[in-house]
């Protein structure tokens, strides 16, 4: 009888206006209709108020960009945007690398046993992360870079760095004859080193003898670099910047805006990365440190083999977040005039090109950067994450 009652209840369906299966569909359709109608209405307003479409991308840009070889104002708008895109990518790449190094150093310094070092690192972090990054960039640009002496009496440091209010010149390499083959030789060296790395690792797994794979790999690469240098007859030369009257020759020069942007971004982001590093190291269970001490590892060994590998795993996701932020913050160069993506789009709009498609391009480019960084860090994250033991 109970079964019969149950069966009956299953047969009776509620009226449609109280049937959850019907309601779910109705609610979602209604929601989508509202969203689509709103977007459609806004889009129609946009279309009736302004010009859309992307044909202006093919017209001459009509403005010049400093330090952009291969670009001239006569080229298409698209070419100008491409210059901006790669400038942003360059700042982001270099900034991420430098900020990571500085951040890790400061983060570890915050946990130093030395009171002074610990306090100095804490001071750095607390001072920098509570100030807007835009202010830091503008301060470095306006109060440091532009106040440097003019080119005529530029400052020198160790005879290899030259500072002036036109930029910072640093030593750089100079290609001589045979530079292309030299790159090929170094590439070959890297491949051989990778093969040796794999071989040493496998040997270690099989026999348990020390692998010393870092030494092997680095030694191989260094050997190739040295041998190639002598065999090919000095294919590259070091070029030191030199002051000749009112201009700097040799080396490579970072423009004032570029240097200010890079330094500002690196200093600011490093303060955040330092906090992540500190938090991650502290998040490694204390028992791990105690166990390392118990088996008499030295301080360095404890850090290198026990604490840091685990801390890195914890560190990756928030670090990825900081990398995204640094990339997005590079847009602040618009305030000091470094021609990265946002600045170029701003100029494009200022030259009378339609704003909505320009801003769509701007957002699209940053989304590409964001997605790219997410993909890379997700791969790293997956590679580092623990696999469940089988």
For another protein, the closer CB: 65 or 361: 361
Q: Residues 271, 276, 278, CA angle at the centre, nearest 5°? A: 95
Token pair belonging to 124? 């750095």
CA distance 164 to 210: 51
Identify which of 281, 308, 334, 266 has the alpha carbon closest to the alpha carbon of residue 97: 266
Tell me the closest approach of the beta carbon of residue 243 to another protein, in angstroms.
23
Largest CA distance in the chain: 107
Least Å distance between CB 49 and another protein?
Answer: 4
CA atoms within a 13 Å half-sphere pointing along the CA-CB vector of 171: 10
Are the CB atoms for 204 and 210 separated by under 8 Å? yes
**Cβ 239 to another protein shortest distance, Å:** 31
Residues whose CB falls within 8 Å of the CB of residue 373, separated by 6 or more in sequence, listed in order: 320, 323, 324, 327
Task: Assess contact for 213 and 149: CB atoms under 8 A.
Answer: no
Q: For residues 101 and 359, which CB has a smaller minimum distance to another protein in the complex?
A: 359
Answer for the pair 151, 248: CB distance below 8 angstroms, yes or no.
yes
Nearest residue to 338 via CA among 172, 171, 167, 169: 167
DSSP state at residue 54: S
* Residue 387: DSSP 8-state: P
Nearer to another protein, 126 or 159 (CB): 126
133/154 with CB nearer another protein:
133
Closest approach, Cβ 139 to another protein, in A, equals 4
Pair of tokens at residue 315: 């560190």
CB of 323 to another protein, least distance (A): 10
* Nearest-approach distance from CB 167 to another protein, in angstroms: 18
Question: Closer to another protein at the Cβ: 230 or 300?
Answer: 300
Q: What SS3 state is found at 237?
A: strand
């Amino acid at each position: 009888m109970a079964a019969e009652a149950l069966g009956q209840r299953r047969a009776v369906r509620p009226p449609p206006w109280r049937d959850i299966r019907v309601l779910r569909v109705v609610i979602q359709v209604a929601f989508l209709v509202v969203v689509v109608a709103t977007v459609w209405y806004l889009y129609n307003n946009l279309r009736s108020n302004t010009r859309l479409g992307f044909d202006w991308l093919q017209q001459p840009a009509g403005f010049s960009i400093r330090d952009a070889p291969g670009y001239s104002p006569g080229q298409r708008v698209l070419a100008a945007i491409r210059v901006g895109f790669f400038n942003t990518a360059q700042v982001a790449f270099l900034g991420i690398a430098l900020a990571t190094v500085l951040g890790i150093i400061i983060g570890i310094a915050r946990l130093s046993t030395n009171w002074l070092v610990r306090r100095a690192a804490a001071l750095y972090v607390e001072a920098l992360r509570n100030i807007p990054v835009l202010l830091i960039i503008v301060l470095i640009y306006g109060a440091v870079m532009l106040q440097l002496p003019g080119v005529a009496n530029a400052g020198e440091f160790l005879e290899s760095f030259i500072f002036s209010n036109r930029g910072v010149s640093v030593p750089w390499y100079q290609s001589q004859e045979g530079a292309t083959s030299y790159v090929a030789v170094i590439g070959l060296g890297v491949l051989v080193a990778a093969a040796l790395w794999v071989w040493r690792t496998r040997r270690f797994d099989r026999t348990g003898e020390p692998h010393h794979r870092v030494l092997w790999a680095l030694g191989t690469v260094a050997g190739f670099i040295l041998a190639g240098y002598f065999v090919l007859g000095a294919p590259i030369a070091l070029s030191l910047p030199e002051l000749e009257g009112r201009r700097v020759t040799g080396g490579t020069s970072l423009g004032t805006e570029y240097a200010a942007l890079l330094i500002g971004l690196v200093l600011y982001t490093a303060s955040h990365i330092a906090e992540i590093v500190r938090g991650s190291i502290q998040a490694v269970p204390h028992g791990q440190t105690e166990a390392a001490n118990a088996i008499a590892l030295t301080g360095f060994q404890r850090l290198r083999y026990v604490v840091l590998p685990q801390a890195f795993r914890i560190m990756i996701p928030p670090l990825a977040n900081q990398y995204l932020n640094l990339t997005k913050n590079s847009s602040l160069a618009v305030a000091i005039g470094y021609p990265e993506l946002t600045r170029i789009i701003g100029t494009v709009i200022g030259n009378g090109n339609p704003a909505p498609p320009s801003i769509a391009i701007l957002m699209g480019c940053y989304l590409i950067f964001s997605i790219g960084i997410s993909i890379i860090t997700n791969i790293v994250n997956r590679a580092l994450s623990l696999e469940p033991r089988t």
